[in-house]
Amino acid sequence: MKSLRSLTGLCASSALILAIACGGEETPEVTTPVEAPAPVPATPDTPTLSVADLQANAENVALVPSPVETQKALESAGIETQLSSLIPEHKFDMKSADIDHAALRTGVVLADTLLTIRNSEKDVLLARLEKIRVGMEQLNGGKDIDATLIDMRDRITAVAVSRDELLKEFDELSGAVIPELEFNGNKRIVPLIQAGSWLEGANLVAKAVTGLEEVSVADTLLKQPDVVTYFIGYVTGEGAEKAPEAVTMRLEQSLNTLKELAEKEGALNRDDVATVVKVTDEVLALL
Residue 4 lies in a domain: no
Residue 16 lies in a domain: no
Residue 36 lies in a domain: no
pLDDT digits (tens, 9 = 90+) for 138-167: 999 999 999 999 999 999 999 999 999 998
Does residue 96 register a pLDDT over 90?
A: no
Give how many domains the chain has, as a whole number.
1
Separation of alpha carbons 82 and 151, rounded Å: 28
Residue 180 lies in a domain: yes
Residue 26 lies in a domain: no
Residue 248 lies in a domain: yes
Residue 152 lies in a domain: yes
Separation of alpha carbons 256 and 273, rounded Å: 15
Residue-level pLDDT at 118: 85
Residue-level pLDDT at 152: 96
Mean pLDDT for 219-229 is 77
For residue 179, the tally of other CB atoms under 10 A from its CB is: 24
Structural domain boundaries, residue 207? 51-285
pLDDT digits (tens, 9 = 90+) for 77-91: 777 667 788 888 888
Taking CA atoms, 200 is separated from 5, 141, 153, 160, in Å, by 11, 21, 23, 29
Residue 37 lies in a domain: no
Q: According to the per-residue pLDDT averaged within each range, which of 73-77, 93-97, 129-133, 252-256 is highest?
A: 129-133
Residue-level pLDDT at 244: 62
